[in-house]
Amino acid sequence: MSANNKRVFYVKYLAHPIYVEMLAARPDVRLDRLENETAEEVFAPILADAHAYQVGAARDELAGHFHVHGDLLKRAPNLLIVSSNGAGYDPVDVEACTAAGVLVVNQSGGNAHSVAEHALGMLLTLSKRIIEADRALRRDPNVNRNTLTGTEARGKTIGIVGLGNVGGRLAELCSGLLGMKVLAYDPYLSATEMAARGGEKVELDEVMRRSDYVSINCPLTKASRGMIGAREFALMQPHAYFITTARGFIHDEAALFEVLRDKRIAGAGLDVWDKEPPPPNHPLLQFDNVLASPHTAGVTKEARANMGRIAAEQMLNALDGKRPPRLINPEVWPAYSKRFERAFGFTPG
Residues marked as catalytic = 247, 276, 295
Task: Give the number of other Cβ atoms within 10 Å of residue 115's Cβ.
Answer: 27
Cβ-contact 234, 205 below 8 angstroms = no
Note the helical H segments in the chain.
Answer: 18-24, 40-49, 70-75, 94-99, 112-127, 130-139, 165-178, 191-196, 204-210, 230-235, 253-261, 301-319, 333-344
Alpha helices in 100-223 (DSSP H): 112-127, 130-139, 165-178, 191-196, 204-210
Q: State how far the Cα of 335 lies from the Cα of 227, in Å rounded to an integer.
A: 32
Closest CA to 253 of 213, 224, 226: 226
260 and 241 Cβ atoms separated by less than 8 Å:
no
The CB density around residue 155, as the number of other CB atoms within 10 Å, is: 10
Q: What φ, ψ does residue 324 adopt, rounded to 5°?
A: -65, 145
- Helix H, strand E, coil C: the string for 187-236 is CCCCHHHHHHCCCEECCHHHHHHHCCEEEECCCCCCCCCCCECHHHHHHC
Secondary structure of residue 62 in the 3-state scheme: coil
Count CA atoms within 13 Å of residue 136 on its CB side: 15
- The amino acid that residue 207 corresponds to is V
In this structure, are strands 157-161 and 213-216 parallel, antiparallel, or unpaired? parallel
